[in-house]
Chains A and B, each alone.
Chain A
Amino acid sequence: MSNGDDVKTLIIDDQEVSARRGQTILEVARENGINIPTLCHLEGLSSVGACRLCLVEIKGSNKLLPACIATVFESMEVSTDTERLRKHRRTILELLFAERNHICSVCVSNGHCELQTLAQEQGLTHIRLPYRNPNLPVDASHERFTVDHNRCILCTRCVRVCAEIEGAHVWDVMGRGINCMVITDLHEEWGSSTCTRCGKCVQVCPTGALFDKGKIGSEHPKYPDFLPYLNLMREAR
Chain B
Amino acid sequence: MSALTSPPLPSDDKRWKIVNGTMRKNGYARHALIETLHTVQSSFGYLDDDAIRFVARSLRVPLSQAYGVATFYHYFSLKPPGKHTVTVCAGTACYIKGADKLIAAAEKRLGIQQGQTTSDGQVSLMTARCVGACSRAPVLLCDGEVSGEMSREQMIEQLERWTVE
Whether the pair B67, A183 counts as a contact (CB closer than 8 A) is: yes
Whether the pair A186, B62 counts as a contact (CB closer than 8 A) is: no
Whether the pair A170, B62 counts as a contact (CB closer than 8 A) is: yes
Whether the pair B68, A174 counts as a contact (CB closer than 8 A) is: yes
A-B contact number at CB 8 A: 39
Whole-angstrom distance from the CB of A210 to the nearest CB of chain B? 15
Given contacts A186-B49, A186-B52, contact A163 B62 (CB under 8 A): yes
Instruction: Tell me if A142 is interfacial: C-beta within 8 Å of chain B.
Output: no
Whole-angstrom distance from the CB of B61 to the nearest CB of chain A? 9
A185 interface neighbour in B63, B71, B72, Cβ under 8 Å: B63
Whole-angstrom distance from the CB of B128 to the nearest CB of chain A? 17
CA distance A175 to B68 in the complex (A): 6
Indicate with 1 or 0, residue by residue over B50-89, a CB within 8 angstroms of chain A CB atoms: 0011000000001111111001100000000000000000
Whole-angstrom distance from the CB of B82 to the nearest CB of chain A? 23
Whether the pair A183, B64 counts as a contact (CB closer than 8 A) is: yes
- CB nearest to B67 among chain A residues: A186
CA distance A169 to B62 in the complex (A): 6
Whether the pair B72, A172 counts as a contact (CB closer than 8 A) is: no
Chain B residues, Cβ within 8 Å of A173: 68
Whether the pair A194, B63 counts as a contact (CB closer than 8 A) is: yes
Whole-angstrom distance from the CB of B2 to the nearest CB of chain A? 18
Whether the pair A186, B53 counts as a contact (CB closer than 8 A) is: yes
CA distance A174 to B65 in the complex (A): 8
A175 interface neighbour in B52, B63, B66, B72, Cβ under 8 Å: B72
Whether the pair A186, B63 counts as a contact (CB closer than 8 A) is: yes
- CB nearest to B56 among chain A residues: A186
Instruction: Tell me if A197 is interfacial: C-beta within 8 Å of chain B.
Output: no
Whole-angstrom distance from the CB of B159 to the nearest CB of chain A? 28
Indicate with 1 or 0, residue by residue over B84-120, a CB within 8 angstroms of chain A CB atoms: 0000000000000000000000000000000000000
Whether the pair B65, A169 counts as a contact (CB closer than 8 A) is: yes
Chain A residues, Cβ within 8 Å of B52: 186
Whole-angstrom distance from the CB of B51 to the nearest CB of chain A? 10
CA distance A172 to B62 in the complex (A): 9
Chain A residues, Cβ within 8 Å of B68: 172-174, 183
Whole-angstrom distance from the CB of B44 to the nearest CB of chain A? 16
- CB nearest to B52 among chain A residues: A186
CA distance A47 to B49 in the complex (A): 31
Which residues on A are within 8 Å of B, measured CB to CB? 163, 169-176, 183-187, 194
4 closest residue pairs by CB, A with B: A172-B64, A169-B62, A172-B68, A185-B63
Give 11 A-B pairs besides A176-B71, A186-B53 with Cβ atoms closer than 8 angstroms: A163-B62, A170-B62, A172-B62, A172-B64, A172-B65, A173-B68, A174-B68, A174-B71, A174-B72, A185-B67, A194-B63
A-B contact pairs, 7 of them (CB 8 A): A170-B64, A172-B62, A172-B67, A174-B68, A176-B71, A184-B64, A185-B63
